[in-house]
Amino acid sequence: MHRFWHSQLQSAAPRTSLDEYSRVGPRRVQLLSGVSGMQTFILSNNHWICGNRTMTPEKLLQSLFDSRVQASASSSNQGRHPTRIRVLQALQKGNLCIPDLAEKSDVTRQTAYRAVAPLDEAGLVRERNDCFTLTCSGSRILEAYLQLDDEVTVDSLARLTRSPHQQWLLRVLKEEAMRKCTLLDRARDEGGPSRTTIHRIISRLQEDGYVNHQSATYELSESGELLQESFEHLHEIAAGAIENRSFVRWLPAELDSLPLEALENFELIHNTPDQPHNVLNAFVSGAGIDLEAFRGMGAIRSPALDQAYRPVVNHTPSVTVVFTDEVLFQFHGDHRFVDYAAQFDYSAYLKDGLIRQDARLLFVPGPIPLHLAIYDDSRVIMAPAPSTGVTEAESTALESSDSCIIEWALNLFSAHLEDARPPIRVFQEHAATLIGDKNGQERLLRSSTPQKMAR
């Protein structure tokens, strides 16, 4: 859990030169002249790289809270939040291009460009069609920030993210109260801060009310415990966002309940140029097992999936699958599917979605953010759906048997199931829409035709 503490106490790696980064890829490398603290951000192959090291949870939190780059263009109330927090707040309301993002965040355009660089690198935001959108990890870390206790200030968090020694000290004092001599001995044993550094940090923490000194013993105050716990919670979310960026950066903000800080026992499956169907194959192979229950969501129709999951639908005791309306129309454009649906009871299929007893196909009108397959409520595979903007080459699936992830997936499935309808309802609604459009066009035509004046 605390493995990052030791790495943070090591000396920083030497700065990598721009010439080295120019070899990342054949495309043009654009250097942003602005700096965030001592960081420089480079755009290479449409991917942000932190110029002095790759993005880490500590660097991400530092970029979020460090007030040295948080100049506000005006003295509005928004200025109380760091710039990058204001950027995330602005994107909560919808996708924004840089000029609009700068206006909503109350900063200059140049500052807005600098602000989104580390957010994009960490997967908190994503660029699409020259606009930025908030991802589930961006929404999750924003929520954690907004829930901070009033006794935990942004300045104290900023200092903490910049100081591995302060992080070490707070962690040690959270474990137990200590005399200074004991602190010094432990720091020496663990390669921690020096005597002078410990004295300086403790003095500042005492001034801020985070450390108490009683009976020659140092201990965290209630505010100090809140500060340390808040940092660890934010760090866990940041670590989950960065580690799983290839997957979570495609998930929309409304999926921010995904427990990033609790992701365990999972595997990420990536498509590659040489193997562009790895994600599809993961779903196909998942169908080749004996099941008692299957639940799924999908926004595409694939011949490979049709073939793989036909036995699941035919033989699994309990099956419920939710598709989009678009998939329903694709099904009914194929006579083979219609013939298959008619084998059991076509009227039951139309009326209740029953493709056979205890196997239902239902449909939702809106986009589905995830392809989802839940096997016996004990294993799940999920991948971003096309509505997120993901391309086949960039697609990544997550496969897990972790109980937290499965519970989250079941809740997501249940939420979409509430809006799902059987085929006949979809056809009726679609027909009503078409009739309504036709009547509207006729009314528009009549209104545009000159009428005889009444005598």
Q: What is the pLDDT of residue 3?
A: 38
Query: Is residue 437 included in any domain, yes or no?
Result: no
Q: What is the pLDDT of residue 119?
A: 95
Nearest to 381 by CA among 288, 317, 455: 288
* Domain-terminating residue out of 105, 138, 171: 138
User: Are 426 and 277 in a shared domain?
Assistant: yes
Global pTM reads 0.79
Q: What is the pLDDT of residue 128?
A: 85
* Domain-terminating residue out of 138, 158, 184: 138
Q: What is the pLDDT of residue 435?
A: 81
List the structure tokens of 298: 């999908």
Q: In whole angstroms, what is the distance from residue 240 CA to residue 177 CA?
A: 31
Nearest to 292 by CA among 311, 309, 315: 315
Q: What is the pLDDT of residue 434?
A: 81
Task: Note the residue count of the chain.
Answer: 455
Nearest to 56 by CA among 20, 88, 94, 12: 12
Structural domains counted in the chain: 2
In sequence order, what are the residues at sequence separation of 6 or more whose Cβ sits closer than 8 angstroms to the Cβ of residue 241? Answer: 60, 122, 123, 124, 137, 138, 140, 141, 248, 260
Query: Is residue 174 included in any domain, yes or no?
Result: no
Beta-carbon-side half-sphere exposure of residue 277 (alpha carbons within 13 Å) = 6
Query: Is residue 305 included in any domain, yes or no?
Result: yes
Query: Is residue 391 included in any domain, yes or no?
Result: yes
CATH number at residue 295: 3.30.870.10
Query: Is residue 212 included in any domain, yes or no?
Result: no
List the structure tokens of 331: 């099904």
Query: Is residue 251 included in any domain, yes or no?
Result: no
Q: What is the pLDDT of residue 442?
A: 52
Q: What is the pLDDT of residue 35?
A: 34
Give the domain extent around 41: 10-138
Low-confidence ranges of the chain (pLDDT < 50): 1-53, 68-79, 443-455
Query: Is residue 341 included in any domain, yes or no?
Result: yes
pLDDT in tens, 40-83: 444 333 333 444 448 999 999 999 987 544 444 444 434 478 99
CATH number at residue 87: 1.10.10.10
Given a contact cutoff of 8 angstroms between Cβ atoms, the answer to whether 82 and 70 are in contact is yes
Query: Is residue 146 included in any domain, yes or no?
Result: no
List the structure tokens of 328: 């329903």
Q: What is the pLDDT of residue 277?
A: 93
What Cα–Cα distance (Å) separates residue 321 from each residue in 5, 328, 413?
45, 12, 9
| Tally of CB atoms within 10 A around 34 | 15
Q: What is the pLDDT of residue 439?
A: 59
